[in-house]
Amino acid sequence: MRTGRKTTRAIVRTPGPNAEIGLTTASLGKPDFDKLLEQHKAYVEALQGLGVQVTELPHLPEFPDAYFVEDVAVLYQDTVIITRPGAESRRHEIDHILGALVESPEILTIDAPGTVDGGDVLIHEDTAYVGLSERTNLPGGHQLKEILRDHGLLVQMVPVGEGLHLKSSVNSVPGALLIAPDFLDHPAFLGKSKIPVHPDEVYAANAVTISDTVLFPAGFPKTARKLESLGIALQFMETSEIQKMDGGLTCLSLRFFD
């Protein structure tokens, strides 16, 4: 199945040995650093294997969560919106991403008192869904709404409730939204084609589409079978160490499309 959106370029950041002191609500134990590096490397190789030009930034000793690079910017066409991350400990990660984005024709910012994490922003077809969460507040959501509306997108606000970010629960796959059961009936998604993840496999909603292939977390066979039966190509990624830090496959990269 084709999406028509080719992923051309991505920015990632290598995790550092300080990853274990990052923020997390998961009770899955500390990540094994070597394994985390291995899983991250496999992710980068998967992107490259799918024809994506990857810029890999070095780890930041003072910011243990900075490899969740998606949270510091929202990319749409030629516009970059530098966010204002909701967690105080992550706020200054933005100072270290600008260098990789300076060539973008338009760079905008989210300003105080607004907060936005990129993990709360999902662009699917003609609509931007903005999750209101513990990280993205209403003032931040409104600033983003104005910007994205000016860029021709419809914007829908979605209260996130449980879960860290909107994209912990809803993501774009070819032809549909891959969506956790709790979000299925939300009016924001009315009329959209939806593929529910199996109720036992809610983490599997955090999958990322690269051109026409979905990078999909290994270990969620019921949802995987459903996607494959619909003709969606999956590439399985190990995510055990990333999960321990509340992360998923979307948050490991900032992605540009043609």
SS3 236: strand
The distance of closest approach from Cβ of residue 207 to ligand CIR in the complex, given in angstroms and rounded to an integer, is: 12
**C-beta of 122 vs 153, nearer to ligand CIR:** 122
The distance of closest approach from Cβ of residue 251 to ligand CIR in the complex, given in angstroms and rounded to an integer, is: 3
Among 20, 93, 241, 246, binds ligand CIR (CB under 6 A): 246
Q: Which stretch binds ligand CIR (CB under 6 A): 65-73, 102-110, 174-182, 232-240?
A: 65-73
To the query of whether residue 251 is one of the catalytic residues in this protein, the response is yes
SS3 139: helix
**C-beta of 70 vs 241, nearer to ligand CIR:** 70
**C-beta of 136 vs 213, nearer to ligand CIR:** 136
Closest CA to 67 of 43, 32, 102: 43
The yes or no reply on residue 179 touching ligand CIR (CB under 6 A) is no
**Structure tokens belonging to residue 114:** 């607004």
How many residues touch ligand CIR under the rule CB under 6 A: the total is: 20
The yes or no reply on residue 68 touching ligand CIR (CB under 6 A) is yes
Residue written as tokens 């494959």? 228
Q: Where are the alpha helices (DSSP H) in the chain?
A: 33-49, 98-101, 138-150, 221-229, 240-243
Among 20, 71, 93, 241, binds ligand CIR (CB under 6 A): 71
Closest CA to 180 of 191, 192, 171: 171
Local structure of residue 126 (DSSP, 8 states): T
CB contact set of 120 (below 8 Å; sequence gap of 6+): 130, 131, 132, 133, 135, 136, 160, 165, 166, 167
Residues contributing to the site for ligand CIR (CB under 6 A): 22-24, 65, 68, 70-71, 87, 90, 119, 164-165, 167-168, 245-248, 250-251
Active site residues: 165, 251
